[in-house]
Amino acid sequence: MPTKEVEIIVYGAEVLCPSCVNLPSSKETYEWLDAAIARKFPEQAFTISYVDIYNPPEDSTKKEFAVRVIEEDMFYPVVVIEDEIVGEGSPKLKTIYKELEKYGYVQAGI
């Protein structure tokens, strides 16, 4: 079981990034990840939140990273787990699952 409840943050925007034209929106990616992770790691708590890079919350860490996404022209959505970037533009579930397993998350059926 997880050693702690991991926070997953999806940074994105309403408008698709110019290089991500045929991909789902940041918000759709956030919803898809939430459902996929809950299925893969049932009954294992995690927090997932969405941060609009053009309208970030007051939380200084999230606000600073949102500015970084814009300034560094990152492909969004950018998926961050415990301060580690694990996906940009079109995040890969396999990579995200591997990162969660580092924190003790166990896949269903194993």
> In the chain, what are the domains?
1-51+61-66+88-110 (3.40.30.30)
Closest to 83 in 3D by CA, of 31, 3, 7, 32? 7
Per-10-residue mean pLDDT, the chain, length 110 = 88 79 86 96 95 95 96 93 94 96 88
Read off the pTM. Answer: 0.92
Would you state the pLDDT for residue 17?
66
